[in-house]
Amino acid sequence: MPQAHADFRELQGANRRQTELLVVVFLVLFCALGFGLDILVGALRIVDGHLVGFPFLTIAALIIGSIQALFSYYGGASLVLMSAHARQLMPDSPKHQMVLDVVREMALAARMPVPRAYVIADPAPNAFATGRDPAHSVICVTQGLIDEMDREELQGVIGHEMAHIRDYDIRTMMMIAVLVGGVAMLADFVVRWSFYGGFGGRSGRSQSGEGGGEAGAIIVILVFVLAILAPLFSQLIAMAVSREREYLADASSVEFTRNPRALLRALEHIAQTESPLSHASRGIAHLFIVNPLEGACESGEGFFDNLLSTHPPLPRRIARLRGLLGEPAISPASGVAHS
């Protein structure tokens, strides 16, 4: 047990370092897009092979990105909950009280503060955790999860989300959710400016008129390409980081519940659901226990399916949990096995 504790300490440290690295990556993207705007509006020009001018918009983009990183750290959870149309879960029914009890049980098993509980009024069974640390954490479940899951299945799902909180995944994923949205908005602005002011406009003439020539035109094209690819690149980062954490959270759920069948039954139950979540955007999709934008049964197994997915294939996660029970793995092509 001490070794496992040390391993999780190392994981938490690695997650903190990864969060810092991701913030740097996103700030670089912000600065690159700001630099592109400086080129497009003519604040920076190429004269006789040299870059002249002052990068007003690059500095502005860096400041905006830094403010957004700070905001995502301290206020990102509220923004995520607002985006998901979530409200605080109250003990106003036996089912809601059971969820609150299970959250307390799993917090005790994980030796952590009890997270706040929220609910989304949606029939699709799903859940996510968010916050900047265990002391400021939130677990959010859908009404569909509450209605369809029994206590054992709820323990498996809540245990999975508690693992994300304990390992500080919530901080990384929350900041990614906010920063991805910021990159997308800035990139969209750059694309619009490129069409209406960059190509053939004032900035294009200033580049060639001041001796920039072909170099200026190439930079403008590169800026346009960057603005197109930046949102996709940032989204791929979010997807890759999310996929890495799901398997570990599944295993940690078993550690908390001492019951491999709890999460297995829950995931098998969710796998039968074909309806996506009504209030979910691509910016927060990576936070959920399963992809909220498509039916769970649509999880693909191909290379590109996995590359463009926020989660590992659900059949593969189920197969791993069945392996913990000593049961034979079921091929994804043959469908999901039932207990």
What six digits make up the tokens of 107?
A: 């917090």
Please, are residues 93 and 111 in contact by the beta-carbon 8 Å criterion?
Answer: no
Cα(170)–Cα(317) distance, integer angstroms: 20
3-state helix, strand, coil in the chain (%, to 5): 70, 10, 25
Largest pairwise CA distance in the chain:
75
User: In this structure, how many other beta carbons lie within 10 angstroms of the beta carbon of residue 8?
Assistant: 16
Is residue 161 part of the annotated active site? The answer reads yes
At 141, give phi and psi (nearest 5°).
-125, 155
Instruction: Give 259-311 as a DSSP string.
Output: -HHHHHHHHHHHHT--PPPSS--TTTGGGBSS-TTS-GGG---SHHHHHT-SS
Cα(279)–Cα(294) distance, integer angstroms: 12
In this structure, what DSSP letter does residue 194 have?
A: I
Please, are residues 141 and 99 in contact by the beta-carbon 8 Å criterion?
Answer: yes
Cα(123)–Cα(333) distance, integer angstroms: 27
State which H helix or E strand residue 116 sits in.
Answer: strand 116-120
Q: Catalytic pick from 105, 148, 153, 161?
A: 161
- Residues 6 or more apart whose CB falls under 8 angstroms from that of 262 comprise 152, 153, 155, 156, 159, 253, 254
In this structure, what DSSP letter does residue 301 have?
A: -
Q: Which residues are catalytic?
A: 161
